[in-house]
Amino acid sequence: MSKEPIVCYYALGAINYKNGYVTSCPQQSDQLHLYKDTKILKPSEIINSENFKKHRKELMSGTWSQGCHLCKEAEEIGAKSMRQDFAIKDDELKHYNHETGEIDFALVKHVELRFSNACNMACLHCSDVYSSGWMSKLKNYVPDKDDWDKKLVQLTRTFHKSSQNEDLSISISIEEMEVIVDDLILNFPNLKRVDFAGGEVLYQKQFFPCLKKLADHPNIKNMGISFHTNFNAKFDPEELARLLKPFKKANISMSLDAGTNIYSYFRTGDWEVLKKNIEKFRSVDNTTIMAIKCTTSVYQIMDLENIFKSFFTLDVDRIDSAIVYTPRYLNPAVLNLYFKDYVYEDIQKTYKIISEENIRRRANMELNSKRRSWNQLENRFTDISSAVTALKDIEKFVLNHQRSESEYNSFIAYIEKTDKIWQRNFNDYMKKYKIINGKLERIRHA
């Protein structure tokens, strides 16, 4: 009996530039093309290379590619995977050759670019692969036996790598960026989505020139653009607004992951700078969709109420969530091992905060109807309704999964190690949990 095809929008019509290699999507980890070694950068010369064709044929024959394990694992537990973000229409499959695995360029609709790991932050769920801030923190750090025994992959610098010495540095110059974009303009007429990831794009010299060049694409009026950012870098909001204007639609996904309690601890940023940057941008651009992304690890579960409460102070369109699956010691379900009742309690309190915010706003609609998130047609605040969805996704995952004691112990060790390296104290920021004599304790009156 033949297997059902695993039809994937990204495998059939996307290309993703990562750390010295190219693959099909942000979560796909197979190094389908090594541009650092081959010096081949043009999408037209990569999209039908042997590994890309093999990747498509595997999925379309019903077999998961090795690097697709995150989508596979998500679907096995009934969660939504990235593969399911977008659908491929039946008539579009005519652009796919089932025998060879090749696609017509007409099928390519999505590209994600990553220029470098230059970043002004060193967030605790990140690594040296994606953050120059992490590289600085670990510059003089030598992993000890405990790091290796507890598999603290961020500190041993093996996270996202097959070995400690694997070079996954990212470096696409302005000139190389121009080669890629020129090829997109020339050969991919149906390109509809351009995404950017980091590092931090607003901290990188390639980003604004790339936006300016993309405006020459023949499908620019039908093209959407999105980028992930901490929105905490130094940049010119007016120039950003001007460069986004040619696109049909622009989406900014702000990785905040924390509220006023732990923002400076978890993300090493400044909450007030963030607020001012949002306000400045909104003063010149009121059409770009601005969403908050709460990438949810065990840290976020420990401060969930304050995080959502803080989000509501920002003038955004939507609040989204994502789960930290790896490293496993940061998986949000880790807290279930000893604190499941408290986790449930805090999630319910967060639902209450969302409900109370909705009531508070509706009590003063003269003021709050001016918020970007107010949808008069649907009679709802979109940041509030999306926050409910985001919290439900967090609740569904966290309360239905259990992690191991070894992962829990690794998390405690990770707190202590990063506190020393970052030169700060977990207990100074967390309100409901404290490290006491090497153990994580719930503060019962919090």
Q: Is the pLDDT of residue 421 over 60?
A: yes
Report the mean per-residue pLDDT for the chain. Answer: 93
Range in 148-162, 227-241, 355-369 with the lowest mean pLDDT: 148-162
Please, which pLDDT band fits residue 160 given cuts at 50, 70 and 90? confident
pLDDT of residue 330: 97
Q: How far apart are CA 77 and CA 69, in angstroms?
A: 13
pLDDT tens digits for 49-99?
999 999 999 999 999 999 999 999 888 988 888 998 888 888 889 999 999
Q: Tokens for 268, please give them.
A: 């090493």
Q: What is the pLDDT of residue 407?
A: 96
Strand partners, 294: 321
Q: How confident is the model at residue 368 (pLDDT cuts 50, 70, 90)?
A: very high
pLDDT of residue 198: 82
pLDDT band at 1 (very low <50, low <70, confident <90, very high): very low
Of 85 and 380, more confident: 380
Please check whether residue 25 is in contact with residue 14, taking contact to mean a CB–CB distance below 8 angstroms: yes
Mean pLDDT of 383-387: 98
Maximum mean pLDDT: which of 67-76, 159-168, 419-428 = 419-428
Residue 164 pLDDT level (bands cut at 50, 70, 90): low
The proportion of the chain whose per-residue pLDDT surpasses 90, expressed as a percent, equals 84
Average pLDDT rounded to a whole number, residues 321-342: 94
Q: Is the pLDDT of residue 269 over 70?
A: yes
More confident residue, 280 or 170: 280
pLDDT band at 166 (very low <50, low <70, confident <90, very high): low
pLDDT at residue number 161: 66
Encode pLDDT of 96-111 as tens digits.
999 999 999 999 999 9
Asked whether residue 394 carries a pLDDT value surpassing 60, the answer given is yes
CA distances from 361 to 279, 306, 316, 371, 384 (A): 19, 18, 14, 10, 10
pLDDT at 162: 64
Per-residue pLDDT at 167 exceeds 80: no
Q: What is the rounded average pLDDT of the residues 354-379? A: 96
What's residue 169's pLDDT? Answer: 64
